[in-house]
Amino acid sequence: MKIIKRFLPVLIVGLSLTTNAQVAIVKSPGPRSFLLMDPSVRTEIVTDSRDHKSVTTAANLFSGDIGLVTGQSLPVVDVRQITASHVVLVGTIERILSQLNRMQYPSYLQLLYYNVKGSALFNQMWLEAEKANWYAARNFVVANSLQDSVAPFPEPTLGITLPDFSDGKSSGEPYHLPMFNSYLPKSYHIDLFNKGVGELDWRLEVKDDWIHLDRKSGSTKEHDRVVVSVDWEQAPTGEEIKSEIQLHSNGGNEKISLSLLNPSIPSKEDLKNLYIEDNGLVAIDATGYHRKKETGEIRFSIVEGVGMENKVVMLGDPLAKNSHYASLELTSNYVAPVRSGEFPVLEYDFYTFSEGPVDVYTYMVPQFPLNDESGSRYGVMLDNSPVYLPEASAPYYSTLWIQGILRNTRINKTTHLVDKPGRHTIKIYAAHPGVMLQKIVIDLGGMKRSYAGPRVTRHPGSLPLSD
**Cβ atoms of residues 268 and 183 within 8 Å:** yes
Look at residue 153 and tell me if it is in a domain.
Answer: no
Statement to judge: residues 80 and 184 lie in one domain: no
Statement to judge: residues 133 and 81 lie in one domain: yes
Q: How far is CA 110 from the centre of its chain?
A: 30
**Cβ atoms of residues 273 and 462 within 8 Å:** yes
Ranges of residues in the chain with a pLDDT under 50 are 1-75, 77, 167-168, 171, 330-333, 337, 466-467
What does the pLDDT read at residue 459?
81
Q: Bridge partners of 378?
A: 430
Q: How many CB atoms are located within 10 Å of the residue 315 CB?
A: 30
Look up residue 377 and give its DSSP letter: B
Whole-number Cα distances in Å, 240 to 44, 178, 353, 452: 42, 12, 11, 28
Strand, coil or helix: 419: coil
What does the pLDDT read at residue 275?
96
Statement to judge: residues 249 and 286 lie in one domain: no
Statement to judge: residues 304 and 228 lie in one domain: no
Strand, coil or helix: 88: helix
How far apart are alpha carbons 344 and 294 in whole angstroms?
A: 5
Mark which of 210, 236, 262 sits at the end of a domain: 262
Q: How many CB atoms are located within 10 Å of the residue 397 CB?
A: 10
Mark which of 262, 293, 312 sits at the end of a domain: 262
Q: Tell me the pTM.
A: 0.70
φ, ψ (nearest 5 deg) of residue 133: -65, -40
For residue 386, cis peptide bond before it (omega within 30 degrees of 0): no
**Cβ atoms of residues 263 and 313 within 8 Å:** no
Statement to judge: residues 209 and 120 lie in one domain: no
Statement to judge: residues 197 and 331 lie in one domain: no
Residue range(s) defining the domain that contains residue 112 = 2-137
**Cβ atoms of residues 349 and 290 within 8 Å:** yes
- What is the β-pairing status of strands 410-418 and 356-364? antiparallel
Statement to judge: residues 67 and 124 lie in one domain: yes
CATH number of the structural domain spanning residue 348: 2.60.120.1620
How far apart are alpha carbons 389 and 386 in whole angstroms?
A: 10
Q: Bridge partners of 410?
A: 364
Mark which of 210, 241, 262 sits at the end of a domain: 262
- Work out how many domains the chain is built from and give that number: 3
pLDDT digits (tens, 9 = 90+) for 128-156: 777 777 777 777 777 776 655 556 678 88
What sign results for the dihedral spanned by CA atoms 207, 208, 209, 214? negative
What does the pLDDT read at residue 318?
84
CATH number of the structural domain spanning residue 182: 2.60.40.10
Look at residue 152 and tell me if it is in a domain.
Answer: no
Q: Whats the size of the chain, residue-wise?
A: 467
Look at residue 254 and tell me if it is in a domain.
Answer: yes
pLDDT digits (tens, 9 = 90+) for 85-121: 888 888 888 888 888 887 888 888 888 888 888 888 8
**Cβ atoms of residues 141 and 196 within 8 Å:** yes
Look at residue 461 and tell me if it is in a domain.
Answer: no
Angle at 222 between CA 220 and CA 224, to 5 degrees: 60
What does the pLDDT read at residue 464?
52
How far apart are alpha carbons 138 and 159 in whole angstroms?
A: 8
What does the pLDDT read at residue 51?
30
Query: What letters, b where the CB count within 10 A reaches 16 and e where it falls short, cover 442-456?
Result: bbbebbbebbbbbeb
How far apart are alpha carbons 387 and 398 in whole angstroms?
A: 26
Look at residue 269 and tell me if it is in a domain.
Answer: no
Statement to judge: residues 93 and 224 lie in one domain: no
Angle at 16 between CA 449 and CA 73, to 5 degrees: 10
Statement to judge: residues 285 and 433 lie in one domain: yes
Contacting residues for 157 by C-beta, under 8 A, at least 6 apart: 139, 194, 195, 196, 200, 251, 252
Look at residue 459 and tell me if it is in a domain.
Answer: no
Look at residue 60 and tell me if it is in a domain.
Answer: yes
Statement to judge: residues 128 and 188 lie in one domain: no
Look up residue 278 and give its DSSP letter: B
Which burial class, exposed, middle or buried, applies to 306 when counting CB atoms under 10 A from its CB (0-12, 13-18, 19+)?
A: buried
> Letter for the amino acid at 90?
V
Closest CA to 42 of 324, 381, 406, 382: 406
Statement to judge: residues 368 and 431 lie in one domain: yes
Statement to judge: residues 405 and 361 lie in one domain: yes
Look at residue 302 and tell me if it is in a domain.
Answer: yes
